[in-house]
Structure 1
Amino acid sequence: MEIERESMEYDVVIVGGGPAGLSAAIRIKQLAASKGQDVSVVVLEKGSEVGAHILSGAVMDPIALNELIPDWKDKGAPLNQPVTRDEALFLTKTGATKTPDWLMPDNFHNAGCYVISLGNVVRWLGQQAESLGVEIFPGFAAAEVLYDEHGAVKGVATGNMGIGKDGEPTENFQPGMELHGKYTIFAEGARGHLGKQLIERFKLDAGRDPQSYAIGIKELWEIDPAKAQPGLVVHAAGWPLDKSTYGGGFLYHLEGNKVTLGFVVGLNYENPWLSPFEEMQRWKTHPAIRKHIEGGKRLSYGARAITAGGLLSLPKTVFPGGALVGCEAGFLNAPRIKGSHAAIKTGMMCGEAAFEAVAAGRKQDELAAYPAAFDASWLRKELEQARNFKQWFKYGLTVGSIMTGIEYWLLPRLGIKRPPWTIHRTKADHLYLKPADQCPKIDYPKPDGKLTFDRLSSVFVSNTNHEENQPAHLTLRNAAVPVATNLAKFAGPESRYCPAGVYEFVKNDDGSDRLQINAQNCVHCKTCDIKDPTQNIVWITPEGGGGPNYAGM
């Protein structure tokens, strides 16, 4: 079906209204104002509003925000709760060992940081961007990269609205819009739909370690005021995961009797019976965690993939006509469990390069000043120190923990900031699953509805919604593979790694199996796109405005 689309011209098009995309937009407009120039900038955000799809722990290091908006306190940025105390715990099934403060690795020290809702910070950044003249279009998903006759990126097209399940236009049909830019900045977050295509097309990951991901599952609770410890930051490793599985939990006390807590599981886990969602639920039953939230009320739930490969997996970030910023590229500092400061910094550096190029009259070339700025930045030094973190855990929890201690406690005290060795990974996450008959089954307890919950009630409090009469945004390359391979060999892991109940195997009338995809439950975490052992599932953008509507997350 050939559809004629209208187009709009901008100097810079930014895909994604998260911390990286908005910081790029703000920086461009700041520089333009300082030079008395007019540079047009548009931000596309697939969520129903800016911040609707933002999910993060989060403890925020304000180092980059200090550079972007030095007077952020006066401007009302919602960084209200300073970190007051850090705890690092190793859990057994019933016990907990607290790491003494003097022995705690530097990556777990959060003095000067803030416990925040990143969604609220992003909403505030959106207001700052709009006040500078940035155009923000929420509810519009960038569905397609546009290229010029030389193969350079020239912008993006939004998805068509009002297409029915049969692929035909309904009475509500609206064609997508083309947004053309001299430069297009991609800031979609971890495993971005378009970023994935760009990395493949321009071979941006050539010579890099395979990217590594984790899934983070998070809840927001309101607790008994008597239990509130505003500013307390707790990180936990060990139970309920086995010693060969990367992961751990976090629990942060916000202001206003709120606690945000969550669980992270590396997507290179081997046992197909493992369910990250259920691991998170039973983790909450540990006495060291339960004591913080028992008797409270769960307010919200969400899940998101985390790009955790670090510097050694970082793709080339520029290509003709565009660039990757933030978690789209993978700038997260995994041992510090922080990515928002890196997102803001990379957005700024890319914005500076884009402004200089536009001001010089250039377009559709590579923004070489951006990676050059990164190489000279404090962020590069920070990620250099962190580069081996995820790699060490391929040898198990014990080795990973010891080497984290050496690289983040011992070496700095010897005056060595950069570890003198480099450890590489060679396998993508989807290649790690073992056949189900070679792994122990995991029996998860039933939820009690008070402390622990099921998937569907969790999706309900994520405020997830999709227009039902639209083509499924979770597609299969081969419809036979889920039953013939995934179910037969791996016992249907998609029914367990998805934290939203999207995938379930059901019986046909004749007793045969089929995979049912409940796309309306999808919280856009991208785990299926990463962990599917046959790489048969392809996540594409649904209609703009669909997905979760996170509040306070």
Structure 2
Amino acid sequence: MSERESMPYDVVIVGAGPAGLSAAIRLKQAAAAKEADISVCVLEKGSEVGAHILSGAVIDPKSLDELLPDWREDGCPLAEVPVTDNQHWILTKGKQFSMPHFVTPGFMHNKGTYTGSLGNLCRWLAGKAEELGVEIFPGFAAAEVLFNEDGSVKGVATGDMGVARDGTHKPDYTPGLELHAKYTFFSEGVRGHLSKGLIRQFALDQDSEPQVYGLGIKELWDIDPELHVPGRVIHTQGWPLSETGSNGGGWIYHQANGQVSLGFVTWLNYSNPYLSPFHEMQRWKTHPQIAALLKGAKRVSYGARAISDGGLQAIPKLVFPGGALIGDSAGFLNVPRIKGTHTAMKSGMMAAEAAVEAVLSQRQHDELAAYPAAFEQSWVKKELSIVRNVLPLVEKFGDLIGSGLAGINMWLESFGIKMPFTMKHHPDHKSLWRKDMVRKIDYPKPDGVLTFDRLSSVFISNTNHEEDQPVHLTLKDPNIPVEYDLPMYDEPAQRYCPAGVYEIVGEEEGNPKFVINAQNCVHCKTCDIKDPTQNINWVVPEGGGGPNYPNM
């Protein structure tokens, strides 16, 4: 018999990101509109709501307007900085060229958007949810999916607390808690480990393309007030990734309080195993235009997170018996706009409306067919359909020609001229070439002023894990890193991880060992995505562990 206690709810939501919190609020709103009440619980693995939230972020308020129309007058921190200036730069090693506005469709111009901290927006949304009676439990990681005898999802169980690395129980051991629900929403963000298992178990991706990803690395800087222009938004493409034949780009967002959000995305379809997304981001900051902005500035925060780049064709089936995928657990990012908050929020709202109807009709544990039906008719699908071929075109034809073709495609689609095809994706973990087929990349040493190393960066992410706990970065076969990945790819985990979690030691002595520094992990999920043999499996650590982003 299980020693875990259980708590029943109508709906349990895993993850207090924008999708999960929007779903929670809409559940309460929709039930109240029918003069009913339903019980809603949100689990959040971070130490507080927003602790693990990272985004650029420039946010389209479309969903927020639908969910809480008075948000601008109601103390929402997002209202502080509307976007006032939108620029797109094409970079070469030493020069910068601005792309004219007329080249891109109007939806790319950021009119009516806002820039700020997505973490702070989630903290505000959590307060609104709690005012409506939603129960939110930060510091509790959903570690296991529970099933009914008929195979439908029954709920989730939180991880045990106080378990030592060797599996024994420490004096403060506390067993996990079971949360049973009529419907469970999985809003874990990109590559959530429970969502990944559910997609596999219910074959939710059998009719979709493989999801593909980018790694976003972000820093916050306090800059010279004379150089700060609140509301200025800049996106870049080209250098330095153009030198390696890879794709991605950067962002520079002038936000509140004299801060600039500075970030760089590397698409994880790159082929050179010596490429390091972290070091590409550091190199990007040395461009004269960016270095000038950061003269005399101070870096105050750091973080990293994978993003879902697959678009419409990579969205899996959204429902299964007893539950649904919402937000980045399904992947609703609009890649060329670099925006997914509004689409994620809307997905949670659509799922919530379907669940309210089901619960009030005395149904439970079936498929919420009304949710995917609503998605098919929504502005979310229309928006993602317009840009569905953008990433594949750039991937296939390269940054210059591919971007031109993507621009033409977006213009035609925005005028209602729908392309008669949808391009395919290829899994990121299959893209690496052998180390003997590529040029080794030697990155310059950091100067500690403009560029930095990974360990000092992790330090300012406030990342912390209880040291004596089971390693949450698990290996299916512990021999593969040294016996296969090292001779084949020079063990690329040493370079694709933006937190210095993985290293090979003892190689010079002829006794190489693969070391996992799990306490450095910032929960970006890159290892789970890019590992060429899919040998690394990311699972949740003890609740409350990981980064603690204050303003990201």
> Contact (CA 8 Å) 1:107, 1:335: kept in 2 or not?
no
- Quick check: 1:398 aligned with 2:400? yes
Query: Is the alpha carbon distance of 1:397 and 1:529 closer, same or farther for their aligned partners in structure 2, counting shifts above 3 Å?
Result: same
Distance in 2 (CA, whole Å) between partners of 1:205 and 1:445 is: 41
Q: How many residues align?
A: 549
Name the aligned partner's letter for residue 279 of structure 1: E
Query: Is the alpha carbon distance of 1:259 and 1:224 closer, same or farther for their aligned partners in structure 2, counting shifts above 3 Å?
Result: same
State the partner residue of 1:26: 25
> Contact (CA 8 Å) 2:213, 2:267: kept in 1 or not?
yes
Distance in 1 (CA, whole Å) between partners of 2:113 and 2:418 is: 23
SS at match of 1:183: strand
- Quick check: 1:323 aligned with 2:319? no
SS at match of 2:71: coil
Name the aligned partner's letter for residue 446 of structure 1: K
> Contact (CA 8 Å) 1:393, 1:400: kept in 2 or not?
yes
State the partner residue of 1:504: 503
State the partner residue of 2:156: 156
Q: Which moved more, 1:82-91 or 1:389-398?
A: 389-398
Distance in 2 (CA, whole Å) between partners of 1:346 and 1:229 is: 33
State the partner residue of 2:314: 313
Task: Report matched runs for 1:394-433 at 5 Å.
Answer: 394-395=395-396, 396-409=398-411, 412=414, 415-416=415-416, 418-425=418-425, 427-433=426-432
Name the aligned partner's letter for residue 416 of structure 2: I
SS at match of 1:288: helix
Q: Which moved more, 1:174-183 or 1:383-392?
A: 383-392
C-alpha displacement of 1:510: 5.8
Distance in 1 (CA, whole Å) between partners of 2:420 and 2:58 is: 29
Q: Which moved more, 1:139-148 or 1:289-298?
A: 289-298
Pairwise CA RMSD of aligned residues?
1.3
C-alpha displacement of 1:420: 3.8
SS at match of 2:273: coil
**Identity of matched residues, %:** 60
C-alpha displacement of 1:432: 0.3
Task: Report matched runs for 1:116-131 at 5 Å.
Answer: 116-131=116-131
Distance in 2 (CA, whole Å) between partners of 1:483 and 1:392 is: 36
Name the aligned partner's letter for residue 268 of structure 1: N
Task: Report matched runs for 1:29-428 at 5 Å.
Answer: 29-79=28-78, 80-242=80-242, 244-395=245-396, 396-409=398-411, 412=414, 415-416=415-416, 418-425=418-425, 427-428=426-427
Q: Which moved more, 1:390-399 or 1:470-479?
A: 390-399
SS at match of 1:82: coil
> Contact (CA 8 Å) 2:83, 2:112: kept in 1 or not?
yes
Query: Is the alpha carbon distance of 1:531 and 1:229 closer, same or farther for their aligned partners in structure 2, counting shifts above 3 Å?
Result: same
C-alpha displacement of 1:467: 0.5
Q: Normalising to structure 1: TM-score of the pair? A: 0.98
Q: Structure 1: which 5+ residue stretches go unaligned?
A: none
Q: Which moved more, 1:204-213 or 1:173-182?
A: 204-213
Distance in 2 (CA, whole Å) between partners of 1:44 and 1:422 is: 36
Query: Is the alpha carbon distance of 1:226 and 1:39 closer, same or farther for their aligned partners in structure 2, counting shifts above 3 Å?
Result: same
> Contact (CA 8 Å) 2:316, 2:330: kept in 1 or not?
yes
Name the aligned partner's letter for residue 322 of structure 2: G
Distance in 2 (CA, whole Å) between partners of 1:362 and 1:39 is: 13
Query: Is the alpha carbon distance of 1:276 and 1:510 closer, same or farther for their aligned partners in structure 2, counting shifts above 3 Å?
Result: closer
Distance in 1 (CA, whole Å) between partners of 2:252 and 2:507 is: 43
Distance in 1 (CA, whole Å) between partners of 2:76 and 2:204 is: 35
Name the aligned partner's letter for residue 141 of structure 1: A
SS at match of 2:242: coil
Distance in 1 (CA, whole Å) between partners of 2:295 and 2:424 is: 42
SS at match of 2:73: coil
Distance in 2 (CA, whole Å) between partners of 1:544 and 1:321 is: 24
> Contact (CA 8 Å) 1:500, 1:522: kept in 2 or not?
yes
C-alpha displacement of 1:100: 1.5
